[in-house]
A = this chain, B = another copy of it.
């Protein structure tokens, strides 16, 4: 790897790291040609340190493979973006997903990385110690850098003990605002929900059809609780109480593993459920994240755009973090539709930024979001450019990504 990168840098040839190919913002497009380095055969799980609750893996290891491997240790890796992505890719886009409200994102769950720099030099960004004040936080610099500073070849990840008890719950609401209010209160009360996901009526309808389920076609929260049996019951009851106060219900909860897996599989399959609503279509997923206090307003304003749209749009999100996605089911060959979708996305991004949020909660910048970074970061974008220049002066690492294309890299 070191040799490839060094050679490419010497010849000013772009290098693009490739994992599962499940990123959503054009991260792996070779917009300036170059060498695409497939890391999927670097798939070895190198060291499980059960006592330290960490594991060191090669970058091409996939999320499901890792948890399958860990199943007998009583430990698991929680970050779950839905897709069976590689760990290197998840680190590169600072991925998160349904569990982030409890366990954090890749930002919190990567302890250390091995990275090949454009010079060919291989560094280890940190030790395995749980905390350190020994200089700049190189780990967090490379997490989310989307292959633009170097190629991640190994990652040391935090692991967690499999909870003694897990329960899941589903709760429909009359209005989306009621569901959001329930989430906000649960977070404020510090109830340690492991997952708290919102699907609007359209998403529920698509999921029911695709996954042959018969949930109410209404704004619905999917929840999961982790802890001791006692704690799980206590948490479920607390959230059920909040939901009832806000007009939600019935609050159906279960500790049955099969039922739980079916529920989350349906949640994760929403992309395919949306695709199935319109043959030949594509799903354009948006990704804003706002402070939770602004979530209800942001969703309410967004729903006005959704209602006016000429195509099917559903809403689903990791609302405990203030992060939600629209699934716009569009025909990529229809220029008018694509333009309409782009406008909805732009309006959504600027609404989120005005609310103190971000244009991307977990999908990353890639090509798709680069035009919003100046509005989001202001002069901070110049700092990012200076860091890019410092570590990749030849501009060979995944060029054209993150930074707006007007800038020479």
Contacts and interface: CB of A to CB of B under 8 A. Distances in A.
Contact of A124 (B289, B378, B388): B378
B322 A124 contact: no
Among A130, A361, A362, A390, find the residue whose CB has the most chain B CB atoms closer than 10 A.
A130
Interface string A139-168: 011011100010000000000110100000
A358 B127 contact: yes
Counted per complex, copies of this chain come to: 2
A161 B322 CA distance: 18
B132 A361 contact: yes
Contact of A291 (B54, B388, B402): B54
A360 B134 contact: yes
Interface string A280-318: 000000010111110000000000000000000000000
Contacts of A357: 127-129
Contacts of A125: 380
A322 to B, nearest CB: 6
B378 A123 contact: yes
Nearest to A292: B52
Interface string A341-365: 0000000000011001111111111
- Interface residues of A, dominant DSSP: loop
Contacts of A352: 129
Contact of A131 (B96, B136, B149, B230): B96
Nearest to A389: B390
A408 B297 CA distance: 52
B365 A117 contact: no
Contacts of A20: none
A383 B230 contact: no
Interface stretch (A34-42, A186-194, A211-219): A186-194
Interface in A183-222: 184, 187-190
9 contacts: A51-B291, A129-B356, A132-B360, A133-B144, A134-B360, A136-B145, A138-B380, A138-B383, A161-B189
Given A123-B377, A130-B323, 8 more contacts: A54-B291, A94-B133, A117-B379, A127-B357, A134-B372, A134-B376, A161-B189, A228-B234
